[in-house]
Structure 1
C-alpha cells in the first residue's frame, strides 16, 4: 500500500514541477501552483485517511512513510520560490502536523513497544527532511514510553518531584502539551485517577495556559476516587485556587457531586467540558455524600473565590434548596424559637466575617437547631449579597425557600437598614412571577 502511494505521489508531483519548468517565463507563472498542488494534497489526505483505519503499528508506519515523501517537496518548492510556493508550503506543514498528531496518539494510546517506538523515532529524525525553520519539530516524536523509569516512578507515587539523577545527569519529566493531553485522556479511560493526579502535579510542559486547564481538573479526578475531603483541599489551596475559575455551571456541578456522591461519566481536558448536559451520571464507588454543613462551607468558599458564582441567583437558589430540604425531606423545617432567631443575627455575622477560605461553622451555633442554623447562615450570606447590588432574577430564590417563609422573613428583616435595596429586591420578585416555572409562592410584603 505504501509503495503504490509513493509511486502515485511521485508521478503527481513530477507532472506539476515539469509542467511549470517548461513554461517560458518560469517565475511569472507561479500563481496557479497552489491549485496545481491540490491533487497532491488530495492524494496524501486519502492515504492518511486509510492509515487512520489501521492498527497502531501499521498506522504509524504509513503516516511516517507518507511524511517522508511529501516533505521532500520543500526542496523543489524552495527552488521555485514564489508567494504561491509559500502558500503551498503551509499546506505541507499542515499535513506534517496531522502526521505528528496521529503518530503521537498511536504511541501514547496504542500498544507500541519501546523497541518499535525507538525505530519510529529514528526513522522520523533521520529519514524526513526538515527545512531549517522547522527543525524544532524534529523531536516531536521523542516521547517517553509508559515503561520509562521516571514516568513509572511518578505514576506509582514513588517520585513526587518529577525528576531524577541518571548517571550524573538530571532527568526531568518534561513533555509537550499534546502528549500530556493524550496521557490524561488514556488514564481517564482506564479510570486510573490517582496516577493521573500524581502525573499532573509534577509534569512540566510547553503550554502553561492549557496545562492550567488540565490541572484544574485534579479536584474532579479526586472526586472520582471518592476522596471528597482531598478534592475540597485541592479546590482551595492558598495560591491560585481552581475554584477562582469557577463558572456558575461548574459550581453547580461540584455541588451536585458533593451532595449526591455521583459524577458525570466523561473524558475531559478542561472544567467547562464537565458541564456537558447529556452526560450520564453514575454513583462514585465508596463515596459518601458530604454533610450539609460541609456543603455550605464549600459553597461559601466558592463564592469568595468566584465573583460569577457569588453574583449568580441560580447558584444561591441551588444552595438554598440544599439547606431547606435536609436529607431530601419535602416538609418545611420547624420554626425555631424567637430567641434563637434573634441571637442568630450576631452568630451569622461572626461566621461570615471569617477571612480567607478557611471558613469554620461554630459547633455552638449548630447545637440547638442545626438544620435551621445552616439555613440562616446561607440566608445571612444572601442578605449581604443582595445589599451589595442588583440581584436578578430573584424569584427562584424565593421559591427555593419552599414553605420555610419564616427564614425568608428573617432575610427581609435583616435588610431593613437599606430600604432602597430591600424594596428593589421585593419589587423584582413581585413583578416577574413568570420567571420561574412550577408552583409559585405568593407572599404579601408589607
Structure 2
C-alpha cells in the first residue's frame, strides 16, 4: 500500500463499546471527528507516554454502522413513553443506517414510520409500551400464547406461520358458511327415519324456503389442518391445535331453527367433534412430550381460557375422558405422569362423582408406588372436604382458582365423609400432624351442605345430644379408628350413626380422633387455638375434648401452653374475630374455660379476659358480655380465688360506669 493511500484512509477512528452504560451518549458506536487532530494527537501521546494497554495503531475513514433510530448520532432523538400521534421533534429524520425498533428493518422501508396512531419513528428501548409493541411485532400470532421472545424457537415459529395461513383460509370458508345457500326441494337429502329418496320427504321438502347453512367446507378445512398438525413437531403441533380450537370455538350457527344436515354439515355437531379430536391429541402430547415447564403451563392456561359456546357444554365436561386417559396411559416420565394422575380426584369432583373421587385419593394407579393421598397438601385437603360436604366445585380448572363455586352433584353422606377424611389423615403424616387439617375437618363437619358462591361454608349450631348417646359413640370410636388406620373397609354402626344425630356422631368421632392424635403427636403441633375455634358455637363438643385431655397431665399442660402462646401472638386477630362473633360467643367461650374443673385450663379463660380488659376501647360489646356473666351466675360459682377475682373485677368495671 502506497503512502498516499494510507494517508487517505487514516481519516477517523471508530471506538466500539460493549456496554451502553459506559458511553456518555448511551450509544453502542462512538464516532471520533477526524478534524479534531490536536485532541486526538494528545490522546495518542498520553497513551504512549503512560504505556496503557489500549493503543491506537490504525485509523480509517469513519463508517456509520446499522443502528436503531434512537441510537443515531447524526439525527437528534426525543424520548417519551408512548407518543404515537405524530413524530416528535426530528424523530422522523433518518440517516441511511437507521433501523426501525419495531419492525427490525431499515427505517426507510418501515411502512408505519410516520403513520398517525402508530408512528414507529418515536419507538425506543426505554419504554415498556414500545417494548411490548416490538415483542408483538416479532412474536406475531404467537403473542396470544403469552410467550416470551426467548421462548420462541424455529418449531414454534413454524407452527405460528402455519396457523396464520390457516386462519386466513378459515375466514374465507366461514364467511361462505354464514352466507348459506338455497337448495331445490328435489335435491334435499333426507335425514329422517325412515330415510326417503331426495324430494320425497315432506319434512325435508319444507326446507325449500329456508336458507341452509352447511358447515361441511369448514369441517373439511379444519380436518385437513389438524391432519397436517399431527405430522409436525410437538411444539408446532401444539400451537396449531390450540389456535384451531380457539377459532372454531368462536363459530356460531346463524340458522334460526335446528337443521338436520348430518355430523359434518351441522355446526353444532361438527364443532364438538373437532374439539374432541384436538383435546385427545393435546392430552397425549402434554403427557408424552417433553415440553419445558414454562411452555407447558402457558399451553394449558391458553386452552383453559378458551370460551366454549353452549353447544359445546357437553364437551366442556370432558374431565371423565381426561381421567380415563390418565388412568390408562403409560409413560417413561413417571414423575410427570404421577403429577398429572394426582389431579384425577379433582377431575372426578368436577364431573360430580364425589364418591369415586374420594376413593381415587386413597388407591394407587397401576405401578405407582403410593396413592395420591400421600401428596395432598393442607390446602387441597380443605378444598376436598368442602367439595365432598357440599357437592360443589370451583368453576375453574384448578383447585387454586378463586372463582365462584357451583353445585354439580350430591354431596357425600356424613358417614362416608368422616371415614374418607380420617383415612386421608391416616395416609399422610404431614396432614395428620397439621392443626390446620384438623380444624378444617371440625369446621366442615360442623357446617351445612349449603355453600355460597364465594365458597363460604355455613356453620351449624348443633344441639348437644343425650349423654348416653355420647357415651355410645365414644365406646365404639376406639375400634372404628383403629380399623380406619389399618385401611379396613369400616361400616359405621347404624344404631349410633342414626339420621337423628348423624352430624353430632361424626363430630364426636372426630373429637376422639383428635384426642388420639394429641396423645401420640403433641410435640409436632405448632398451634391448637385454630382447632378450638373450629368448633364454632358447638361448645359441647369442645368441652368433650377438653374433659378427656384433662386425664393426661402432660397433654393438658402442652395444650394449655399452645393456646396461651397463640392468644398472646394473635391478640389483634382475636379481638377482630370476637367483634364479628359477638358477646354471646365470647361469653360461652370464657365460661367453658373458667368453669373447667382443672385449674390449669382456667388460665386460658383468665388470659382471654385480660386481653378484653386491656383493650376495652376495641370491645364495644364488652358491656353485653358483663350481662352474660350476670345471667350465667358466673360471679357466684366456685371458680377458685384467681378466677373469682378477675371475673368480679371485670363486672365491677361496668357496674361503676
Shorter-chain TM-score bucket reads 0.5 to 0.7
Q: Is the 8 A contact 2:382 2:437 kept in 1?
A: yes
Query: For the structure 1 residues 48 and 211, does the alpha-carbon distance in structure 2 shift closer, same or farther, using more than 3 Å as the test?
Result: farther
Q: 1:40 to 1:209 in 2, by over 3 A?
A: farther
Whether contact under 8 Å (1:219, 1:231) holds in the other structure is yes
Distance 1:99 1:396, change over 3 A: same
1:365 aligned onto 2:474: no
Distance 1:410 1:118 in 2: 67
Counterparts of 1:241 and 1:333 in 2: how far apart (Å)?
Answer: 38
After superposition, the Cα gap between the structure-2 partners of 1:250 and 1:234, relative to the gap in structure 1 and judged at 3 Å, is same
Residues of 2 paired with 1:99 and 1:411: CA distance?
A: 64
Distance 2:333 2:158 in 1: 17
CA contact (8 A) 1:313 1:396 kept: yes
Structure 2 residue matching 1:289: 3-state secondary structure:
coil
Report the Cα distance in structure 2 between the residues aligned to 1:219 and 1:257, rounded to whole angstroms: 11
Q: Distance in 2 between matches of 1:201 and 1:251?
A: 22
Structure 1 portions without partners, runs of 5+: 1-23, 25-38, 57-90, 125-137, 147-151, 157-161, 164-171, 269-273
Shift of 1:95: 2.3
C-alpha distance in 2 between matches for 1:356 and 1:238: 13
1:217 aligned onto 2:326: no
Corresponding residue to 2:476 among 347, 351, 356: 347
Which of 517, 541, 554 is matched with 1:420 structurally?
554
1:246 aligns with 2:376: yes
Structure number with greater Rg is 2
Corresponding pairs, count: 340
Q: Identify the match of residue 522 of structure 2 among 368, 371, 389.
A: 389
For structure 2, the 5+ residue unaligned runs are 1-57, 59-100, 106-133, 171-218, 246-272, 278-282, 309-315, 450-457, 599-657
Q: Which residue of the partner structure matches residue 51 of structure 1?
A: 141
**RMSD of equivalent CA atoms:** 4.8
Higher RCO (CA < 8 A, seq sep 6+): 1
For the 8 Å contact 1:243–1:306, the answer to whether it is kept is yes
| Residues in 2 aligned to 1:104 and 1:422: alpha-carbon distance in whole angstroms | 70
The 8 Å contact of residues 461 and 538 in structure 2, kept in 1 or not, is answered as no
TM-score by length of 2: 0.43
User: Which residue number corresponds to residue 291 of structure 1?
Assistant: 413
Aligned twin of 1:202: 328
1:176 matched to 2:289:
yes
- Counterparts in 2 of 1:205 and 1:334: CA distance versus 1, 3 Å: same
- The answer as to whether partners of 1:177 and 1:210 remain within 8 angstroms in 2 is no
**What TM-score does the superposition give when structure 1 sets the normalisation length?**
0.61
Counterpart of 1:116? 225
Partner of 1:17: none
Alpha-carbon distance in structure 2 between the residues aligned to 1:228 and 1:431: 39
Q: Aligned residue for 2:400?
A: 275
| CA distance in structure 1 between the partners assigned to 2:539 and 2:377 by the alignment | 29
Q: 1:134 matched to which residue of 2?
A: none
For 1:206 and 1:101, the matched residues in 2 are separated by 27
Taking the aligned partners of 2:403 and 2:227, their CA distance within structure 1 comes to: 39
Residue 207 (structure 1) shift: 3.4
Question: In the alignment, which residue of structure 1 is the partner of 2:649?
Answer: none
- Report the 3-state secondary structure (helix = DSSP H, G, I; strand = E; otherwise coil) of the residue aligned with 1:366: coil
Distance 2:531 2:290 in 1: 43
Q: Distance in 2 between matches of 1:418 and 1:106?
A: 73
Offset of residue 256 of structure 1: 1.1
Distance in 2 (CA, whole Å) between partners of 1:139 and 1:225 is 30
> Which protein has the bigger helix share?
1
> What is the CA-CA distance between 1:41 and the residue it aligns to?
12
Determine if contact 1:121/1:141 at 8 Å carries over to the other structure. Answer: no
